[in-house]
Structure 1
Amino acid sequence: MNLDLSPDDERFRQEVRSYFETGYPQDILAKVRNGQRLTKADLRASEQALSAKGWLAPGWPEAYGGPGWTVTQRFIFDEELERVGAPNVSPMGLLYVAPVIMAFGTQAQKDRWLPDILASRVFWAQGYSEPGAGSDLASLRTAAVLDGDHYVVNGEKTWTSLGHHAEWIFCLVRTQTTERKQEGITFLCIDMATPGVQVTPIISIDGGHSLNRVSLQDVRVPVENRIGEEGRGWTYARHLLSHERTSYAHVAAKRRQMESLKAASAAAPWGDLLESQGGLRRRFAEVEIGLTALEMTTYRALAPLSSGQAPGDEASILKIHATETAQAITELFVNLAGDYGEPYFENRFREDWRAGLEDIPAFAAPGVAEYFQTRAQTIYGGTNEIQRNIIARQLGL
């Protein structure tokens, strides 16, 4: 594998780096550096700045408004975005449902939804998991009954990321009960403003609100909002999940975390634990080695994209390694914080969120909050146990 960049790619990297240093909204970067949570308005401002530059959808084909970048340029862009600390795009619209609409939607659906996604005028949510149907997604029970030119949908979706921000949600619903549970599932797009849709917050262990429960009671969804054929939603879901599981790597963001960890250790009032504690230093080195392996795995998982193919089941390997590496990094922050890791402030929207915590090292509160939030990574998107089963099946085990 040749990892050397061409002169053109090096010039491209400098162009992207210069934009994030001077053209991108600096107030958003300041919030990230201060450990503050970003609001919906912040996320939209970030995405619309990238959209105005033509850089919001690096993976989209040019025919749909993508920039026409190579796989290498897309990787460089992601690296530079994460290196500076800019927020990643909300993936549900841009990375998850858009490829499904492009591959299986009608022209009318493409014209209706893709421009709003590309301009970040509309946020989407993903309605997959249900109570009792998380990792075993095919056991979902949300039902859609055809009534004239509408489906009437009843059920409940849970763990819906950023559902409180979304104007639309794409859902897997059961339109037929079959012996093979993967059959009889249909892919519907639902306007969140439709009567009968109710969003209830789920406050997670880090004190944040990113998850939700979405109840659907007699929700009438036009048939024209169905993607593809009735009963083939599982096929479309597999297409989406392959894209979802390759979006977890965030290698540059993880390297930035490791650099922050080293800086925090060097500046800690109790002394540099990475220098004084051999066990912590050894664990840091192990995580760095794992991060390099993750980077190589990412290159392999993304290679099919260069020939226009969707990622394959090797995305399961990437999902496991990326999420476990993320957890390992945040565990290092907790180890470094020690007793200061206990009192962390839950609401970090305000500029003065550190008020009252002046005696606590600046990295401790956001680092510990991130530790708690990262616990979910090995669960969502298909638990890592499920990913190991996928790998085992591919090996014939």
Structure 2
Amino acid sequence: MQPHTVLHFSSAGWMLEDKSFDQCIDEASAPQLQYILVEQDAFSTDAKPAPELMQFFQIPTHLLTTGYRRSNGFFSSAETFGPDGHLQSCYTWFRVLIKMAARDASSSYTWHEMTFCSRWTSDRCAILCTGAFPLFRGLLQNALAQQGMTLPPSEPYSLHIPLVEAVVAMQDSSVWSVRDIVRSVEKNRSLPARGSQGFLMMHEAARHAIHSFETLSVTVESVEAMQKQILYLASKSKPASGAESEASLRLCKHMEFQAMMLRNLLLRSQSNKERLQNEIALAYNMIAQRDSQVMTRLGEAARLDSGAMRTIAVVTMAFLPPTFLSAIFSMSFFNYTPAEDSTGWSVSGKIWVYWACAVPLTCLTLAIWHWRQRRVES
């Protein structure tokens, strides 16, 4: 079977080793505390986890259906209690999506889809981390190094604290990457320099901000559901010793603080969205103001043109009667040089031909103009 990276606790601290699934789930050789790190997230594709992992972590089959594969996060758990009221086993299933956008507001981005399945018994705890890319591994190792072993393995959610800490760090990077894009938009808001590429950048930034807010909201709800489950187990279990009670209290405080950090990031994510909407509204208002100034100048130019056209119309009307008269009297129907035997000037008897052609042609021209006006108005 192909080996996978396992982060387990030993006398030398937390160590990375390559182990097969059989070595990880074998009751005799498996580490007491371990994270099984798998890069491919089987819950995001049509693939299925290995049957032995499905059995070991009691993964419900409905989590592999299309609806759960497409979901942007969830948390669920199942516990068993003994006759004496003590917790015997605890299984959890936790999914989170994180979008990492390029800080230069380009179209490049990366989706991190991760699903975590845990199995806790009184003597050991293991968490299967699918979609655990190198970035997440490094953050998880940093969280484990900073925390050490302040929480005993007797607590079912002890290994969830570093896990959520790594998720918080990734969400923090996601939110601030969007914030850097928003800041870049705010610093370059001058209209002359904002062409089509600038509006495309704002659109991409808004898309990243919406996705970041959506996935972060689900992560907050999932961590709060985990926090409620920790409080439920603390209240349902039989009264424990002082050391165990103190460990449970520290666990609750850790998870409460992480939930608060995620809520703070959620407010920052919401602020990113609102700042982007403010920039988009400002850009459109600036465009509207510029267009209004252009229309004002066009209106002034039209007013000047209208005055010039009125002047031309007055001049045309002044010269139209003389032009008409000169056209009439220049026709050959009139004779201004009569013969010696006649008196005055004479008019041809064929002048009716002029009126017979001019009147119908004028009426036809006016009728065509009237027809075209009606078509335009309708």
Larger radius of gyration: 2
Higher strand share: 2
Higher helix share: 2
